Structure 1
Amino acid sequence: MSAQKSGSADKGFLTRLTSATAFGEGLDGYDLGAISVVLPFITKDFGLSAVQQGLIAASTLAGIFFGAPIFGYLTDRFGRRKIFILDLIAFVVIGLLQGFVTNVTQLLILRLLLGLAIGAEYAIGQTMLAEMVPREGRGRRLSSLQVAWYGGFLLSVIIAYVLHSAGLDWRWILATSAIPGLATLLLRQGLPESPRWLASQGKEDEAREIVAEHLGEDYYEDEDLGGETESETRFADLFRADMWRGTTFACVFFTCLVTPYFAIFTFAPTVFASIGIHDAKASIIGTNSVAFLGALAGMLVIEKVGRRSLLLTSFYVMVVTLAVLGIWGTAPAVILLACFAGFAFFNAVSDDLTGVYPAEIFPSELRGSGVGLAAAASRIGATAGTFLLPIGIDHFGIGPSLLAGAAICVVGLVVTHLWAPETTDLSLTKTGEADPSGRDGDGNAADSAH
């Protein structure tokens, strides 16, 4: 039976579900974009030391590090829907409270709690979406999460600059995150539990009822929900003999994408200055615009190119562009700009896979835990990149620091070659069985282009 018949699903429901999930991912980008703009104003207002600035900048990342695996495990144990709603309520309340802080301690606590809510969103969002949408177009819908992240970041940077120019206090600039958070919360009202999770818990009747109402009568068989087996949820199972390669791949490739990503924001003003653009605002907005276009392009081609090929190609381009920037720092401005833009673009293209692969390669009883662990590992890379890059520049210079970024991408490239499966067109029941050679869950060669 063709998976196309699952197209009898309620299109309005699928659009609402995708939007409700993607907007949640966009909230992280929105929050990080806003704090990147207002941190200098916070520093001036509170007289922050360098250590305090670092703590404020890293507090949300620390919250994500703890929140993603904890809440991912909880969703595997108790279901997706409740936490899918509760973490948005927490985000709205905490975001709004930022408008009332009077000292750095209060702000630090709120930023840490906000990170926990965002971490929960990382674990739940792509898990919920992956388990509900049909296999046809699943990669495109999951990629929309990263498009929303870049869109949220870019939007918040523009809004923050405009509101600051209008004289609005930095507290209320941060608190504006409650507005898109509330809109996302309203979109999530009334969404059902994941039928795939219900099936994995032995609740087949409930799963079939939700499928019949929202996803079409053929969906249950087309997406192989009957292949879900009831299993006990144990976090340690992520490292059992048949799982550790997938777990390692998800954590490593995610980390290798995120760590050098922060070089974009460090070197953006320098690269733009080399071609006569000395406005920091223009360089930040320009860089994020390129990244947004990259994420959008990745979303549009992922189903035709395939997951594995798209990730490998992106890593190759990132290795080459960072190597050129690191070795040939005196190149003509047009070459530096082309390499810089190429890295930013393909980093964003491949970042789409962070919303796709983790949700596809873990079985239902471990999906939330696996996605959460991969997100937590990536935050280690984000923190390390933020902390170590200025030190590296101080001690070794810009060139060697960029070459270190290229080396990190080489690690991601090798791990992808070894362990990245091709999961395009496979049901979620089969994606976790796909092997790194590009074969499908039954051991047959999979054609990633269709």
Structure 2
Amino acid sequence: MTVPYFITSLKPHREKRSDGRPLLECLRGLTFIQWAQFFSGWMAWTCDAVDFFSVSLSVTNLERQFDKTAHDITTAITLTLLFRSLGAIVFGVVSDRFGRKWPLVINLLIIASLEIGVSFVQTFHQFLALRAMFGVAMGGIWGLAAATALENLPVEIRGLASGVVQQGYAAGYLIAAVINLTLVPKVSVRWRAMFWCAAVFSSSAALLRALLPESAVFLRAKEIQREQGVTTGNKTKVFLTETKQMLAKHWLLCVYAVVLMTGFNFLSHGSQDLYPTYLQTSKNISNHNATIATIIGNCGAITGGAIAGWVSQYLGRRLTIVIFVCTVGAFIPIWILPNSFSGLAAGAFCMQFGVQGAWGVIPIHLAEMSPPAFRATFPGVAYQLGNMISSASAQIETIGGAHFKTYITEKGKQVQVPDYAKVQGILIGTVAAFVVFITIIGPENHAAQFEKAKTAFEEGGGNDELEIDEFPSRDKLSDDDDYEKASIQHISRAYRV
């Protein structure tokens, strides 16, 4: 019996690079600018999460503020996720056309402004309107942040870097949880303080990115274009042409990426967005302890993401995802069955270790899978369209909670409450099985050197068939200026400029 290729292709294989260097050697060889750009991308994604989870952590406070039910409040989460795909398209296209730096800076400043606006809303409709606008602004962050963090790093460490940068999401949740635990109860403005702090983080991330240079890949490509005398108008025309060619050639890949990210976003949002509410409502855990359990869960997420990203460099992207998603299924019982704080906290750690471990591979997996000239637009749009489709995760769970009931003891009496444990267990189990299936049948371009491809404003960028030899080794040249000049000359020869 012949084993299908999509199964045998999961077998671990060596790096495609024949000159691959050890991880520690690569880390020691990183320049200050490379470290700074990686941190800038990580911080931008962290800021996105701080804001997003400020709502999740404030559901009970927002219910009291606006006299609404949990289902009503989660409408804000749904709206944010729905509109993020629009932002991904706008900011992704601008980034692939004009570069990574200033689109990300502008994006972060818009977010900071909206965060300040949310802190002053007085009505529920004002809150919903600003959260919808947030969705557009936040939609651009992930693609730009991942490209900023990863594309200037050596290929040997991109797996580890992918896991760390993706867990900026968990780090943001962790920061928001700490603010909710320590600051919110002590200030008169309560939940509004969450968004003031988020605005500070976002504006700081914008300042950091503004102080750093543009991506080296874009600088080299722009230098070649200047030598050719190509005008801005011509570049825009070429960009639109190459975009059409890319979509015509890779439409099936685009559909697959959206389906994959739909599953991943259901997995993530289904296990996180309503989690604090689940602990307080279905398990009778205090707001304080629910926040601590959330912090513990995000420690598991950060750990899992870094480990999975590093392991994927050796096992491959898809096999690593499959392994970690299978652990999610195994951890569901200890995530939903305990009633004690210690048991629930342990379950949170294990669940997020698996969920965000699998997610830690996604930034590099999507970047390697992408048509290389569109590695800001393609991953960002796929991610956010998946977000849009899965946007009702929290509302699905609240609706399920209205039909599945359980009892808790409150002040010596049995009280009927939504059984979010059962709802989340069913949802996550189903989604985990789907993610394993869709990952196995999908493509993988492990260790692709996408930094060598043309950019989207160069002719041929949409076809991504050009093979370019190695850039000149930095240690063979006297200084950075010589390295940049040699790189430009090398690419010019490869492109037959």
TM-score normalized by structure 1?
Answer: 0.77
User: Which residue, out of 8, 13, 20, partners 2:33?
Assistant: 13
Report the counterpart of residue 411 of structure 1 in structure 2.
Answer: 434
> Are positions 1:106 and 2:116 aligned together?
no
1:43 Cα deviation after fit: 2.8
User: Which residue, out of 303, 306, 313, partners 2:316?
Assistant: 306
1:98 Cα deviation after fit: 2.9
User: Any conservation in 2 of the 1:198–1:204 contact (CA below 8 Å)?
Assistant: no
Report the counterpart of residue 379 of structure 2 in structure 1.
Answer: 371
- Higher mean alpha-carbon deviation, 56-65 vs 346-355, is at 56-65
> Are positions 1:281 and 2:281 aligned together?
no
> Are positions 1:173 and 2:198 aligned together?
no
1:377 Cα deviation after fit: 2.3
Indicate how the Cα distance of structure 1 residues 68 and 144 shifts in structure 2: closer, same or farther if over 3 A, else same: same
- Note the 1:36-435 alignment, pairs <5 A: 36-48=56-68, 52-169=72-189, 170-197=191-218, 203=224, 232=240, 237=245, 239-241=247-249, 243-265=250-272, 266=274, 279-322=289-332, 341-395=349-403, 399=422, 402-424=425-447, 426-429=449-452
1:26 Cα deviation after fit: 0.3
User: Any conservation in 1 of the 2:184–2:193 contact (CA below 8 Å)?
Assistant: no
1:411 Cα deviation after fit: 2.1
Q: Deviations over 1:360-395 (max 9, x none)?
A: 211233222211221212313541321212323444
Indicate how the Cα distance of structure 1 residues 234 and 321 shifts in structure 2: closer, same or farther if over 3 A, else same: farther
Q: Secondary structure at the match of 1:383?
A: coil
User: Any conservation in 2 of the 1:238–1:247 contact (CA below 8 Å)?
Assistant: no
Indicate how the Cα distance of structure 1 residues 42 and 246 shifts in structure 2: closer, same or farther if over 3 A, else same: same
Indicate how the Cα distance of structure 1 residues 200 and 414 shifts in structure 2: closer, same or farther if over 3 A, else same: farther
d(CA) in 1 for partners of 2:281, 2:107 = 41
d(CA) in 2 for partners of 1:364, 1:112 = 31
d(CA) in 2 for partners of 1:174, 1:366 = 33
1:255 Cα deviation after fit: 2.1
User: Any conservation in 2 of the 1:256–1:381 contact (CA below 8 Å)?
Assistant: no
Indicate how the Cα distance of structure 1 residues 341 and 130 shifts in structure 2: closer, same or farther if over 3 A, else same: closer
Indicate how the Cα distance of structure 1 residues 281 and 195 shifts in structure 2: closer, same or farther if over 3 A, else same: closer
Instruction: Tell me which amino acid in the other structure corresponds to 1:165.
Output: P
Structure possessing the higher radius of gyration over alpha carbons: 2
TM-score normalized by structure 2?
Answer: 0.70
Instruction: Tell me which amino acid in the other structure corresponds to 1:358.
Output: L
1:351 Cα deviation after fit: 0.8
Number of aligned residues: 408
1:65 Cα deviation after fit: 2.6
- Higher mean alpha-carbon deviation, 87-96 vs 399-408, is at 399-408
1:184 Cα deviation after fit: 1.2
Instruction: Tell me which amino acid in the other structure corresponds to 2:79.
Output: S
Q: Secondary structure at the match of 2:97?
A: helix
- Higher mean alpha-carbon deviation, 409-418 vs 198-207, is at 198-207
Report the counterpart of residue 217 of structure 1 in structure 2.
Answer: none
Q: Secondary structure at the match of 1:189?
A: helix
User: Any conservation in 1 of the 2:321–2:361 contact (CA below 8 Å)?
Assistant: yes
Instruction: Tell me which amino acid in the other structure corresponds to 1:248.
Output: V
Report the counterpart of residue 436 of structure 1 in structure 2.
Answer: none
d(CA) in 1 for partners of 2:301, 2:376 = 27
1:399 Cα deviation after fit: 4.5
1:176 Cα deviation after fit: 0.9
d(CA) in 2 for partners of 1:330, 1:40 = 22
1:297 Cα deviation after fit: 2.6
d(CA) in 1 for partners of 2:73, 2:278 = 22
- Higher mean alpha-carbon deviation, 151-160 vs 19-28, is at 151-160
Gaps of 5+ in 1: 208-229, 431-440, 443-450
User: Any conservation in 2 of the 1:315–1:412 contact (CA below 8 Å)?
Assistant: yes
1:61 Cα deviation after fit: 1.8
User: Any conservation in 1 of the 2:87–2:137 contact (CA below 8 Å)?
Assistant: yes
Indicate how the Cα distance of structure 1 residues 331 and 34 shifts in structure 2: closer, same or farther if over 3 A, else same: closer
Instruction: Tell me which amino acid in the other structure corresponds to 1:311.
Output: I
d(CA) in 2 for partners of 1:156, 1:66 = 25
User: Any conservation in 1 of the 2:89–2:377 contact (CA below 8 Å)?
Assistant: yes
1:153 Cα deviation after fit: 0.7
Indicate how the Cα distance of structure 1 residues 158 and 340 shifts in structure 2: closer, same or farther if over 3 A, else same: closer
Instruction: Tell me which amino acid in the other structure corresponds to 1:369.
Output: T
d(CA) in 1 for partners of 2:281, 2:132 = 35
1:67 Cα deviation after fit: 0.8
Q: Percent identity?
A: 19
d(CA) in 1 for partners of 2:378, 2:63 = 37
Indicate how the Cα distance of structure 1 residues 319 and 202 shifts in structure 2: closer, same or farther if over 3 A, else same: farther
d(CA) in 2 for partners of 1:232, 1:285 = 45
User: Any conservation in 1 of the 2:293–2:344 contact (CA below 8 Å)?
Assistant: no
